[in-house]
C-alpha cells in the first residue's frame, strides 16, 4: 500500500452563511492521479486552496507528506507544483523568463534551474516560442506555458485546477498526455475538472463532489458499478405502438423504457447482446427503424443517479 | 533569492508600457511643455534690469547736477537707468509705445514723473524704483539748498550721500538660489513624478496578493519566504520611479538648462525619497481589500493629480494660500512637502528646512510601509 501524500480530515470551510466544505475527508496516495470531479461551485477549487493553505478554514486537519500544512510550510511547498485555472504568467516577460522566474522561486542554484527550465520547455513542447511574449501565444500554448511554470521545479505533488478550460481539442490531448507523463515520472497528481471524459481518461481514482461533500470515491469502473444502469440503447423509430413498448419492457435486464419524439430509449441493468435482442423484437413486429446506437454509462450517469442532477448543470 | 525576485520585478516594470508612459515619458513631456510655455516669460523678466526713461526739460533749468546723478545711475557699474534726453512730444510718444517706463519732466528746476499707468495700485517695480530715485534726488536737492556754498565740507557730504543712493538701489539678491517663481512648477512636476510611482506600487501589491491576481497566488504558493518576495518586489518597484525622476532632473537641469537651484545630488535624494512615498501610496491603496482594481487606479490617478495641484502644479502659488488658511494640509500633502524640500534647497543657505521636510517624508514612508505590510504579509485568506 502506497503512503498517503495528502490527508484531509473533517475539513469545514464557511463563507459567512454558506458552507463550502462540509466535514470533508480525503486521502490521496503516492503515485495516484486523483480526480476531483463535480459541477461548478461544488467545492473543488476551495478544497484545493484549503489544502494549499491559501484559504483559511474553520475546522479540520490537513497533512501533506505526513506533515501539517501551514501557510509558512516552505519545505512542503518546495515539493508542490500548482497549475491554476487562470493563466498566471507575466505579459511583460518572455516564455523563458516566465518559467525561469517561477522556477527560481523554488530553485536557488542557477545551473540546476537552467536545466529544469529547458526541460519544462521541452516537456510542454514550446521550444519554438521561448522568446515569445505571452500575448503572442495562442490559448493552447498559453495553457502549456502555464503548466510549465507550475511544474518546472520538478515537484512531487502537482495540483492541476481545470487546466484544459477554453483549450482546443488538440491542445487538450497534449495536456492530458503530459499529465500522464508527469505521473509516470513519479509525481502524484491532483486533478480537478468538470469534464468527466478527461477525468475518466487519466485519473486512477476519482472523487465526485457536490455541495462541499464527498459524494463517492473510487476508480471509474467502481463508480459505474455503483449505479443500476449498465447500457442504454437508443433507436429512432416512427409510431411505435404501446403494445410493442410493453413487450420491450418485458425483455431480460430492461428496467426502464422511454419513448419520446420518435426516439426509443431502453435502459439495461446487466446482460449481454442486449442490442440484438431488442432489434430482433422490432423485426418480428415488422417495424422499420432508423439510427441505432448503444451508450455505456458515464460518470455523469453516476452523478445523476446519486444526486438527481446533471454534472454540467 | 532576493536578487532573483528583484531582477524579474524590475524587468516586468521596465517592459510595462503603462508604467513607462506615466512614470517616465509623461513627466518628460510635461516638463518640455512647461519649458516651452515659461521660457519666454522668464527671459523677459531677466531683461528687466535697466529702466528706460525719457528726460524732458521744459525751461532753461541747469541740469548739470541732475545729469551727473543720472549718469551715475546709467553707468556700466550701476546700469539702473537708460536715459534719453528729448522733447515732451517725443517722450509722450515713446511712453505711449511703451518704449520707456516713464518721463522725468523738469519745470522750474523741479523734476516730476509721468507714467503711462496713473493708477497707483498698479505700479510696476520699475515705476517704484523711478519714484524712489526722484524722491531721493529731490530730498538731497532740498538739503543742498540749505547748505551754505562756503561750507564745502557739508556740500561734499551731501554729494557723497547722493552717490551712495545708487548703491542702495542696486539689485541685491537675498539668496544665491534661482528666484524665478516659475521654478515652483518644475518642483511640482518632480513631486507629481514621485507620486506617479504609485502605479508601480499598485502593481507591486497586485502581484503579491493571492486574492488580487493569479500571479500573486502563484507567488504565495512558492517556497520563497514571504518577506523576501515583498522586499524584492518593493525595492524593484521603487527603483523604476527613482530612475525616472533622475532622468527627469537631468533632462530639466542639463538639457533644458533650467537652474533648479541647490545641490543636484540633494535634489535627486529628495526625488528618490519622494518616489518611495509614491510607491508606498500605491502599495497601500493596492493592498486595500474589497476595492475593484479599476477603482484603485482611478483613486491613484485622481489623488496624484489632486495632491500635485495643491502643491502648485496647475496654479502657481496655491500652496502659499493653503499655508495661510489650512497649513496642516501642506504638511500632510507629500507633493507639497517634496516641493518645499526642493524650494528650501534652492533658497536657503542652511539645510534645516530641507531636513525637516525629509523627516516628514521619512515618517510618512514608515507609516505607509507598515500599514501596507500588515495587509500584504498574509499568505492565507478568508476568501479568494
Chain A residue whose CA is closest to B18: A92
Nearest C-alpha neighbor of B5 from the set A100, A52, A91: A100
CB-closest option in A71, A86, A97 to B11: A97
Average pLDDT over every residue of A202-230: 91
Cβ neighbours, 10 Å, residue B312 = 25
Q: Can you give the pLDDT at residue B168?
A: 54
CA-CA-CA-CA dihedral for B2, B8, B11, B12, to nearest 10: -120
CB-closest option in B8, B221, B382 to A97: B8
Give tens-digit pLDDT for A157-187: 999 998 888 788 888 888 899 899 999 999 9
Q: What is the mean pLDDT of each run of 10 residues along chain B (384 residues)?
A: 95 91 92 85 62 83 77 75 86 86 82 71 70 81 71 67 56 60 85 92 93 93 94 95 95 90 88 95 90 88 89 79 85 91 85 91 94 87 83
CA-only gyration radius of chain B, Å: 30
Is the CB of residue B99 less than 8 Å away from at least one CB of chain A?
A: no
Cross-chain residue pair B214–A87, CB shorter than 8 Å: yes
Is the CB of residue A104 less than 8 Å away from at least one CB of chain B?
A: yes
H or E segment to which residue A192 belongs: strand A188-193
| Domains defined along chain B, listed by start | 2-42+177-376 (no CATH), 50-169 (3.40.190)
Q: Strands of A254-260's sheet, edge to edge?
A: A254-260, A263-268, A231-237, A289-295
Q: Got the DSSP string for B139-155? A: HHHHHHHHS-TT-HHHH
Cross-chain residue pair A90–B1, CB shorter than 8 Å: no
Tell me how far apart the alpha carbons of residues B73 and A303 are, in angstroms, rounded to a whole number. Answer: 105
> For residue A259, what are the contacts with CB-CB under 8 A and spacing of at least 6?
A240, A245, A265
Tell me how far apart the alpha carbons of residues A37 and A137 are, in angstroms, rounded to a whole number. Answer: 29
Question: Which residues of chain B neighbour A93 with C-beta distances below 8 Å?
Answer: 8, 11-12, 15
Tell me how far apart the alpha carbons of residues A82 and B15 are, in angstroms, rounded to a whole number. Answer: 26
Cross-chain residue pair A15–B383, CB shorter than 8 Å: yes
Q: Are B100 and B84 in contact (CB under 8 A)?
A: yes
Q: Can you give the pLDDT at residue B122?
A: 47
CB-closest option in A53, A100, A106 to B222: A106
Angle at B64 between CA B61 and CA B70, to 5 degrees: 110
Q: Can you give the pLDDT at residue A205?
A: 95
Is the CB of residue A117 less than 8 Å away from at least one CB of chain B?
A: no
Cross-chain residue pair A80–B221, CB shorter than 8 Å: yes
Positions of E strands within chain B: 51-57, 81-85, 102-107, 110-115
Question: Which residues of chain B neighbour A89 with C-beta distances below 8 Å?
Answer: 215
Which of A21, A60, A72, A88 to probe by mutation at the B interface, max B CB count within 10 Å? A88
Cross-chain residue pair A150–B5, CB shorter than 8 Å: no
Q: Got the DSSP string for B28-89? A: HHHHHHHHHHHHHHHHHHHTTSSEEEEEEE-S----HHHHHHHHHHHSTTT--EEEEE--HH
Chain A residue whose CA is closest to B13: A92
Least confident of A2-6, A50-54, B117-121: B117-121
Nearest C-alpha neighbor of B51 from the set B91, B79, B93: B79
Q: Strands of B102-107's sheet, edge to edge?
A: B81-85, B51-57, B102-107, B110-115
| Domains defined along chain A, listed by start | 4-225 (3.40.50.300), 231-296 (3.30.70.100)
Q: Can you give the pLDDT at residue B208?
A: 94
Bridging pattern class, strands B102-107 and B110-115: antiparallel
Question: Which residues of chain A neighbour B379 with C-beta distances below 8 Å?
Answer: 53-54, 71-72
CA distance B16 to chain A (A): 6
Q: How confident is the model at residue A56 (pLDDT cuts 50, 70, 90)?
A: very high
Is the CB of residue B226 less than 8 Å away from at least one CB of chain A?
A: yes
Which of A16, A79, A92 to probe by mutation at the B interface, max B CB count within 10 Å? A92
Q: Can you give the pLDDT at residue A133?
A: 96
Q: Are A249 and A56 in contact (CB under 8 A)?
A: no
Give tens-digit pLDDT for A232-263: 999 999 989 999 999 999 999 999 999 999 99
Q: Which 3 state secondary structure label does DSSP give A248?
A: helix
Tell me how far apart the alpha carbons of residues A212 and A245 are, in angstroms, rounded to a whole number. Answer: 41
Nearest C-alpha neighbor of B338 from the set B272, B286, B294, B284: B272
pLDDT more than 90, % of chain A: 73
Chain A residue whose CA is closest to B215: A88
Tell me how far apart the alpha carbons of residues A1 and B328 are, in angstroms, rounded to a whole number. Answer: 72
CA distance A112 to chain B (A): 14
HEC string of A57-105?
CCEEEEEECCEECCCCCHHHHCCEEEECCCCCCCCCCCHHHHHHHHHHC
Tell me how far apart the alpha carbons of residues A119 and A148 are, in angstroms, rounded to a whole number. Answer: 9
Cross-chain residue pair B210–A102, CB shorter than 8 Å: no
The ipTM is 0.84
Nearest C-alpha neighbor of A244 from the set A282, A211, A207: A282
H or E segment to which residue A146 belongs: helix A139-151
Tell me how far apart the alpha carbons of residues B61 and B75 are, in angstroms, rounded to a whole number. Answer: 23
Tell me how far apart the alpha carbons of residues B74 and A223 are, in angstroms, rounded to a whole number. Answer: 109
CB-closest option in A52, A71, A105 to B219: A105
Tell me how far apart the alpha carbons of residues A284 and A257 are, in angstroms, rounded to a whole number. Answer: 19
H or E segment to which residue B218 belongs: helix B214-221
Is the CB of residue B21 less than 8 Å away from at least one CB of chain A?
A: no
The phi, psi pair for B110, rounded to 5°, reads: -105, 125
Amino acid at each position: 500500500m502506497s503512503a498517503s501524500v495528502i490527508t484531509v480530515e473533517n475539513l469545514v470551510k464557511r463563507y459567512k452563511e454558506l458552507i463550502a466544505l462540509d466535514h470533508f475527508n480525503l486521502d490521496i496516495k503516492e503515485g495516484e492521479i486523483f480526480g476531483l470531479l463535480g459541477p461548478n461551485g461544488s467545492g473543488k477549487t476551495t478544497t484545493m486552496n484549503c489544502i494549499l493553505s491559501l484559504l483559511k478554514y474553520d475546522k479540520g486537519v490537513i497533512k501533506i507528506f505526513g506533515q501539517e500544512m501551514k501557510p509558512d510550510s516552505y519545505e512542503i511547498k518546495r515539493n508542490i507544483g500548482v497549475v491554476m485555472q487562470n493563466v498566471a504568467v507575466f505579459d511583460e516577460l518572455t516564455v523563458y523568463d516566465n518559467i525561469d522566474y517561477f522556477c527560481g522561486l523554488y530553485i536557488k542554484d542557477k545551473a540546476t534551474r537552467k536545466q529544469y527550465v529547458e526541460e519544462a520547455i521541452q516537456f510542454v513542447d514550446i521550444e519554438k516560442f521561448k522568446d515569445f511574449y505571452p500575448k503572442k501565444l495562442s490559448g493552447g500554448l498559453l495553457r502549456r506555458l502555464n503548466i510549465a511554470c507550475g511544474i518546472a521545479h520538478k515537484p512531487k505533488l502537482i495540483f492541476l485546477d481545470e487546466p484544459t478550460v477554453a483549450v482546443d481539442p488538440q491542445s487538450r490531448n497534449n495536456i492530458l498526455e503530459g499529465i500522464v507523463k508527469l505521473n509516470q515520472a513519479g509525481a502524484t497528481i491532483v486533478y480537478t475538472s468538470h469534464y468527466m471524459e478527461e477525468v475518466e481518461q487519466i485519473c486512477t481514482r476519482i472523487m465526485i463532489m457536490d455541495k462541499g461533500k464527498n459524494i463517492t470515491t473510487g476508480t471509474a469502473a467502481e463508480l459505474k458499478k455503483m449505479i443500476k444502469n449498465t447500457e442504454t440503447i437508443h433507436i429512432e423509430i416512427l409510431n411505435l405502438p404501446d403494445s410493442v413498448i410493453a413487450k420491450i419492457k418485458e425483455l431480460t435486464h430492461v428496467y426502464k423504457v422511454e419513448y419520446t419524439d420518435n426516439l426509443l430509449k431502453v435502459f439495461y441493468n446487466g446482460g449481454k447482446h442486449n442490442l440484438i435482442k431488442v432489434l430482433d423484437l422490432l423485426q418480428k413486429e415488422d417495424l422499420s427503424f432508423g439510427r441505432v446506437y448503444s451508450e455505456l454509462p458515464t460518470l455523469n450517469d453516476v452523478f445523476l443517479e446519486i444526486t438527481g442532477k446533471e454534472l454540467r448543470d | 533569492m532576493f536578487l532573483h525576485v528583484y531582477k524579474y520585478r524590475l524587468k516586468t516594470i521596465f517592459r510595462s508600457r503603462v508604467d513607462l508612459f506615466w512614470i517616465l515619458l509623461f513627466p518628460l513631456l510635461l516638463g518640455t511643455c512647461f519649458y516651452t510655455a515659461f521660457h519666454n516669460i522668464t527671459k523677459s523678466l531677466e531683461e528687466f534690469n535697466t529702466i528706460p526713461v525719457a528726460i524732458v526739460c521744459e525751461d532753461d533749468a541747469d541740469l548739470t547736477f541732475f545729469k551727473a546723478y543720472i549718469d551715475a545711475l546709467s553707468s556700466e557699474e550701476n546700469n539702473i537707468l537708460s536715459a534719453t534726453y528729448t522733447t515732451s512730444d517725443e517722450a509722450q510718444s515713446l511712453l505711449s509705445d511703451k518704449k520707456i517706463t516713464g518721463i522725468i519732466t523738469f519745470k522750474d528746476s523741479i523734476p516730476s514723473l509721468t507714467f503711462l499707468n496713473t493708477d497707483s495700485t498698479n505700479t510696476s517695480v520699475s515705476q517704484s524704483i523711478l519714484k524712489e530715485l526722484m524722491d531721493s534726488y529731490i530730498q538731497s536737492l532740498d538739503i543742498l539748498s540749505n547748505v551754505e556754498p562756503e561750507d564745502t565740507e557739508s556740500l561734499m557730504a551731501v554729494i557723497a550721500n547722493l552717490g551712495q543712493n545708487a548703491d542702495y538701489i542696486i539689485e541685491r539678491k537675498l539668496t544665491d538660489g534661482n528666484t524665478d517663481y516659475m521654478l515652483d512648477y518644475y518642483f511640482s512636476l518632480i513631486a507629481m513624478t514621485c507620486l506617479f510611482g504609485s502605479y508601480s506600487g499598485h502593481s507591486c501589491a497586485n502581484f503579491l496578493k493571492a486574492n488580487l491576481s493569479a500571479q500573486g497566488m502563484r507567488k504565495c504558493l512558492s517556497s520563497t519566504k514571504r518577506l523576501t518576495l515583498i522586499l524584492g518586489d518593493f525595492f524593484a518597484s521603487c527603483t523604476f520611479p527613482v530612475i525616472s525622476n533622475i532622468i527627469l532632473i537631468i533632462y530639466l537641469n542639463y538639457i533644458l538648462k533650467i537652474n533648479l537651484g541647490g545641490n543636484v545630488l540633494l535634489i535627486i535624494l529628495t526625488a528618490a525619497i519622494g518616489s518611495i512615498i509614491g510607491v508606498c501610496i500605491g502599495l497601500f491603496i493596492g493592498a486595500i481589500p474589497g476595492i475593484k482594481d479599476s477603482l484603485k487606479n482611478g483613486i491613484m490617478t485622481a489623488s496624484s493629480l489632486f495632491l500635485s495641484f495643491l502643491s502648485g502644479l496647475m496654479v502657481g502659488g496655491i500652496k502659499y494660500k493653503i499655508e495661510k488658511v489650512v497649513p496642516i494640509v501642506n504638511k500632510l500633502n507629500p507633493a507639497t512637502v517634496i516641493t518645499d524640500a526642493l524650494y528650501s534647497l534652492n533658497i536657503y543657505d542652511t539645510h534645516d528646512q530641507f531636513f525637516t521636510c525629509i523627516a516628514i517624508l521619512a515618517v510618512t514612508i514608515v507609516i505607509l510601509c507598515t500599514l501596507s505590510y500588515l495587509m500584504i504579509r498574509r499568505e492565507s485568506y478568508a476568501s479568494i
